[in-house]
Amino acid sequence: MTTYRVEEVADGFYILRVNDRYTRFFEALWEIPEGITYNAYLLQTPEGDVLFDGWKKPFAALLVDALEQVTSPDRLRYIVVNHMEPDHSGSLEEVARWAPEARVLGHPLAGKMMAAYPRARGRFRPVRDGEVLEIGGERIRFIHTPWLHWPETMMSWLESRRVLVTCDAFGGYGIFEGIYDDECTRWDDAVRAMKKYVVTVIGHYRDWITRNLGKLSKLGVEPRLIAPAHGLVWRRDPKKVMEIYESLARAEPVKGKVLVLYASMYGTVEMIVRRIACSLSRAGLKPVVYGFTDSTRPLVSEILTDAIDSEAIVIAAPTYEAEAFPLIRFAAEEICWKASDGKRVVIVSSYGWGSVAAKRLKEVLEGCKYGVIDVIEYNAIGPAAIEPSEAERIAGEVARAIAGGAGG
Ligand SMILES: Cc1cc2nc3c(=O)[nH]c(=O)nc-3n(C[C@H](O)[C@H](O)[C@H](O)COP(=O)(O)O)c2cc1C
Ligand SMILES: [Fe+2]
Ligand SMILES: [Fe+2]
């Protein structure tokens, strides 16, 4: 059964959160066994109420239900669309039907994207970057924040309350027991949930995070509360959250962290990689190991989450039908697309009769500016293809490349 929550997070400002336990692959791509929430927010004022964002379409009727607890059709004056992706806008038509007088506000591009919601579109009014809506003693400034996550994305800044409604930005996966980052949740878990969302969803546009955060800072936006459209509300230390977000955008590495990613059908690559990982640990580094095997299938969403802040990557694949093993190819391409930032890479591969995997992976990773430190190929069918001394040598190479700074 779907559950939702309506809670006052500040005087007259409510979160309306639905817990989506059905979506297992967000955007039909990212594995999220932990589920996801969609957070809409409602601001009550003496001159009528304002709704920020909404829920995914299957939950539209439930959102109307939730709205009935905190407002009424004649009180709802504005529906603010911070972002048109259907995980937030899917309920737009139902809410517009329920509140026939409500105006719909959004970035000018949002209006152009509203064909699926004719009722809402008919009442759409674009807002300029920096425009302020004054209502019932509140000042709501709309700040265009392009590419966080789409070109039409914006944030709503409740000036006097210092509450920033950020939509996808600062959002995280997971259905947490609490509403806030400091409630029934470990800080590290809250940050990991945000990191996974930002890498998988906004990773490709990371430069825009830096630009938009710079813009917020120039505007003097220093929130007391960050209210994103997924996951937890940040109240413990919003400034720190913004710093973490910025560091994720820059793919700032965790010292010594090495992502070790491999696939192995019959244990050849696995044996090689295990020895390398062990040698990496001995060299004082921190390998984080993911392997696709006949008994394990790691989540690409988690691999990306660990790729973004690794100092180096060891990627290993057997040759498969004159190509690199397909799951590693996919993971490597996604790492390039979402998390690449000139890191150092060691490529390991094996083959039975004609080496291809190493060459292909090199093409992919160099194509997205990774610095390939070494490419090692083993002609082997079955385990035991690497001497411990060879593993030590590779680990030493990774350690030296990391110590040597950027460029490898
Ligand atoms: C389904 C399958 C397809 C393969 N295709 C190739 C190939 O196209 N070229 C090649 O040189 N070796 C090929 N091999 C051999 C493997 O690349 C080689 O045995 C490798 O060391 C396997 O590593 P693993 O045990 O870690 O999976 C293939 C093996 C399998 C099982
Ligand atoms: Fe989005
Ligand atoms: Fe979203």
- Per domain, the residue ranges of the chain are 3-249, 257-403
Q: What is the CATH number of domain 3-249?
A: 3.60.15.10
Q: Walk along the chain (408 residues) and give the pLDDT tens digit of each residue.
A: 899 999 999 999 999 999 999 999 999 999 999 999 999 999 999 999 999 999 999 999 999 999 999 999 999 999 999 999 999 999 999 999 999 999 999 999 999 999 999 999 999 999 999 999 999 999 999 999 999 999 999 999 999 999 999 999 999 999 999 999 999 899 999 999 999 999 999 999 999 999 999 999 999 999 999 999 999 999 999 999 999 999 999 999 999 999 999 999 999 999 999 999 999 999 999 999 999 999 999 999 999 999 999 999 999 999 999 999 999 999 999 999 999 888 899 999 999 999 999 999 999 999 998 999 999 999 999 887 788 899 999 999 999 999 886 443
∠ CA 327-330-334, nearest 5°, is 140
Report CA(96)–ligand 2 centroid distance (Å).
21
Question: Cα separation of 39 and 55, whole Å?
Answer: 7
Domain covering 257-403 in this structure, CATH number: 3.40.50.360
Q: Which ligand is nearest to the CA of 167?
A: 3
Closest CA to 371 of 404, 327, 324: 404
- Is residue 322 within 6 Å of ligand 1 at its C-beta? yes
CA 321–ligand 1 middle distance (angstroms): 7
The reply to whether domains 3-249 and 257-403 share a CATH topology is: no
Instruction: Write the secondary structure of the chain as one string of H (helix), E (strand) and C (coil).
Output: CCEEEEEEEECCEEEEEEEECCCCEECCCEECCCCEEEEEEEECCCCCEEEECCCCHHHHHHHHHHHHCCCCCCCEEEEEECCCCHHHHCCHHHHHHHCCCCEEEECHHHHHCCCCCHHHHHCEEECCCCCEEEECCEEEEEEECCCCCCCCCEEEEECCCCEEEEECCCCCCCCCCCCECCCCCCHHHHHHHHHHHHHHHHHHHHHHHHHHHHHHHHCCCCCCEEEECCCCEECCCHHHHHHHHHHHHCCCCCCCEEEEEEECCCCHHHHHHHHHHHHHHHCCCEEEEEEECCCCCCCHHHHHHHHCCCCEEEEEEEEECCEECHHHHHHHHHHHHHHCCCCEEEEEEEECCCCCHHHHHHHHHHHCCCEEEEEEEEECCCCCCCCHHHHHHHHHHHHHHHHCCCCC
Tell whether ligand 1 has an atom less than 6 A from the beta carbon of residue 153. Answer: no
Half-sphere exposure of 38 (CA within 13 A, CB side): 28
Q: For a pocket test of ligand 1, which of 261, 321, 328, 377 has the largest count of ligand atoms closer than 8 A to its C-beta?
A: 321
Q: Residue 352: CB within 6 Å of ligand 1?
A: yes
The reply to whether ligand 1 has any atom less than 6 angstroms from the CB of 266 is yes
* Nearest atom (ligand 1) to Cα of 322: 8
201 CA → ligand 2 middle, Å: 7
Global pTM value: 0.95
